[in-house]
Structure 1
Amino acid sequence: MAEEGISPSRQGRPSMTSSMRSSSFLREHQQYRPPSKPENHYGIDTVVEDLQATSIAPPRQISPFNGIPSPENPPVIVESGVSHELSHPNCTPVPGTTSFDRLVATLFYKSTSPRVSNAIPSPIRIPSPPKRAKSPTPHTESEIPPNMSPSSSLDTFPLEPPTTEPEPLDHLYGSYISPMCITSFLHLMSTFPLPPGSTDLNSAHRCLKLDTAHGHHPLVVELTMAPAPSLDYLSLSDLRKHELIYRFEREWNVDVVLRSDTLWRRYPRLVVFDMDSTLITQEVIDLLAATINDPPDLAARVSDITHRAMLGELEFDSAFRERVKLLTGLPGSIFNELRPVLDVTNGVRPLLRALKRLGVKTAVLSGGFLPLTSWLAGELGLDYAHANEVVIDEATGRLTGEVKGRIVGKERKRELLLEIAKKEGVSLDQVVAVGDGANDLLMMEAAGLGVAWNAKPRVQMEAGARLNGDSLLDLLYLFGFGDEEIRTLTR
């Protein structure tokens, strides 16, 4: 009877079944047991299902993640080595409120023309040789730096010594566009006042060209800054000429091209070129003068007039008539003889091939001679060619020293640019003009972008952009194309 009374209580005692037994003492007594599910990377659905079964205090409804950023779901995803930041829901401006206040700065490192500081050194004292000893060669060093001494006469002696230029920092931080160079430029831009209501300058940059021969260093970098400096303080044309920009270019041995980041910046439709010293490396009128031996100084006289006209010291029209007068008596066949002599500027042929593939119209507006200009335009595939017509005597077949019709000077170049743009239905914002002389300034001013190509000092200062490289193909970087895209366009 006693055993019968004990039996029910024994049935309620906990007991270990065979399924709960283990052969490992450590496994039976360890404090942490792994979960029943394998430790794999769960998807978002699995995580949400587990959360829905979780008790949360205070209780709230948990909705599945639908991919839209919110305060509860911040717009940053970091998982499996991927970091991605999502745009906020209202990232597109309200229609009618979009404003192009971004500024694009394209930095070109002038690797082919390293600058040497012209800081005035301490005078070098060289002991004078004995009077009886005569040195076979004069000393190359002087107690006075060369840039302080008169070149030929005292009339050219400067009243004040030249200002000391900044030291070339690219020698210290890298002969390319280094991170320190970019940082210095951004610091410079932060000194200009921002538009009202703006407190910070945001920027991003990308490399357009690499120096693959020397460590893949960047040679052309495009920086986008927002917002642009306040127009109430400084217009874009004045900003390009600012002393701080010029000093930065000298310090880092770069050219800085500043443009508003508009839609038309990336899509030009008409590019107009000067010919002499732009599409070709020579001045045609100097080549013509060089063929005349009598008088012997004619070539030098013509070259001097050409140089002064390009500097803007002489009126181009009158200077051109004067030079043509000096060519009186040359045979008309001389233009055909000069064709093989013309040296096309490096990068012109692939540049024109790229522009043609992009559907861009091209033109050459030259202050030279139409027979050579038309022939070159046909060789290079340009769509338009305008230049001066000289009078050739039908009886003798020689130049009379006169010019037919209007001279293609600075005013005429501007008129021709406007005529071609109107004929092609192209907005002036999508016109680019490239030249090197003072007679190109008016057409550069009329175009949406004027580019001074290895130009004279006055043109460098007044043009909207300046390029001083060794290939005119650099023009494509101004449109935002990178090396890979340029290679595709020029194949």
Structure 2
Amino acid sequence: MSTTPLPGLVLRGIQAPLPLADFKLIAFDMDSTLINIECIDEIADAVGKKAEVAAITEATMRGEIADFRESLRRRVALLEGVPVEALQQVYDQRLQLNPGADILVAACKAAGMKVLLVSGGFTFFANRVKDRLGIDFARSNLLDERGGKLTGRIVEQSWGAICDGAEKRRTLIEVASLMGISPQQAIAVGDGANDLPMMGEAGLSVAYHAKPKVREQAKVSIEEGGLDRLLEVLA
């Protein structure tokens, strides 16, 4: 059952307003959620492979390719030979925060919440977005490079090789545990199929201009306007 108290904002199984004080942690996906682009697609543009990579990205986010790890490896392999400076060009020229991202993050921090960025994208962008928004913690994938060029591989980090849906879920649970809270005291915001595991664990799941499969399962679906529309649901 769904209700629509305001145009472009769909609630399922909940009644607004929800007390903001009930939540201590908010976890965001990055690409197409906090920011306006899929970074991997824009990097691929540097070697004329954007269409090929973007098609795989779209199918993965829609849930049509179930194995995110294999999908990511396939796409990253196509980036072999891309100059590392292309990442900075993508950040400077193409990456923008999605509307309301700064407002929502600032409101959550003002309420005493911790803010987590957990992304199937890359540390080059995640760390910059983290610093830009004052986010507390970020986890994402690390692109391998050699001689100033990408190798087409992903570097294994202390927590594992690839931040996929399962790792997003695990990270949310881990951070909640370290904070001494239940995952039910967390909010998870995303747009793609690989966000569903963490969204399913959180007390409040939020879809932002999301793929149909994600909209259908989220408790809140923001279908018009910016991320700060979530504040219409919280009090």
TM exceeds 0.5?
A: yes
Q: CA deviation at 1:345?
A: 0.4
Letter in 1 for 2:50: A
Paired position in structure 1 for 2:102: 349
Cα distance, 1:448–1:303 mapped onto 2, change above 3 Å? same
Q: How does 1:264-413 map to 2 (within 5 A)?
A: 266-293=21-48, 298-314=49-65, 315-340=67-92, 341-393=94-146, 396-405=147-156, 406-413=161-168
Letter in 1 for 2:195: D
1:284 & 1:263 partners in 2: Cα distance? 33
The CA deviation string for residues 323-344 of structure 1, in whole angstroms up to 9 with x for no partner, is 0000000122322222222111
Paired position in structure 1 for 2:11: 256
1:266 & 1:454 partners in 2: Cα distance? 25
Contact preservation (8 Å) 2:165, 2:195: yes
Cα distance, 1:262–1:280 mapped onto 2, change above 3 Å? closer
Contact preservation (8 Å) 2:16, 2:233: no
Q: CA deviation at 1:265?
A: 6.1
The CA deviation string for residues 332-369 of structure 1, in whole angstroms up to 9 with x for no partner, is 23222222221110001111111111111101111011
3-state SS in 1 of match to 2:224:
coil
Contact preservation (8 Å) 2:36, 2:97: yes
2:15 & 2:226 partners in 1: Cα distance? 24
Contact preservation (8 Å) 1:107, 1:257: no
Q: Count residues with an aligned counterpart.
A: 228
Letter in 1 for 2:88: N
Pairwise CA RMSD: 1.9
Letter in 2 for 1:369: F
Q: CA deviation at 1:256?
A: 3.2
Larger radius of gyration: 1
Q: Indicate the percent of aligned positions where both proteins have the same amino acid.
A: 36
Contact preservation (8 Å) 2:184, 2:201: no
Letter in 1 for 2:145: I
Give TM-score scaled by structure 2 length. 0.91
Q: What stretches of structure 2 of length at least 5 have no aligned partner?
A: none
1:292 & 1:338 partners in 2: Cα distance? 13
Contact preservation (8 Å) 2:20, 2:111: no
Q: CA deviation at 1:260?
A: 6.2
3-state SS in 2 of match to 1:259:
coil
Q: CA deviation at 1:106?
A: 6.0
3-state SS in 1 of match to 2:36:
coil
2:35 & 2:189 partners in 1: Cα distance? 12
Contact preservation (8 Å) 2:12, 2:218: no
Contact preservation (8 Å) 1:433, 1:444: yes
1:409 & 1:258 partners in 2: Cα distance? 27
2:59 & 2:163 partners in 1: Cα distance? 17
Q: 1 or 2, which has the higher strand percentage?
A: 2
1:429 lines up with 2:184 in the alignment: yes
Q: What stretches of structure 1 of length at least 5 have no aligned partner?
A: 1-103, 111-253, 482-491
1:331 & 1:310 partners in 2: Cα distance? 26
2:11 & 2:212 partners in 1: Cα distance? 16
1:263 & 1:443 partners in 2: Cα distance? 20
Cα distance, 1:400–1:346 mapped onto 2, change above 3 Å? same
Give TM-score scaled by structure 1 length. 0.45
Contact preservation (8 Å) 1:264, 1:429: no
Runs of 4+ aligned residues of structure 1 deviating over 3 Å after TM superposition are: 260-266
Letter in 1 for 2:213: R
Whose RCO is larger (CA < 8 A, sep 6+)?
2
Q: 1 or 2, which has the higher helix percentage?
A: 2
Q: How does 1:51-130 map to 2 (within 5 A)?
A: 107-110=5-8
Contact preservation (8 Å) 1:289, 1:299: yes
Q: How does 1:117-266 map to 2 (within 5 A)?
A: 255-259=10-14, 266=21
Letter in 2 for 1:423: L
Letter in 2 for 1:308: A
Paired position in structure 2 for 1:443: 198
Contact preservation (8 Å) 1:106, 1:258: no
Q: CA deviation at 1:105?
A: 5.7
2:42 & 2:207 partners in 1: Cα distance? 23
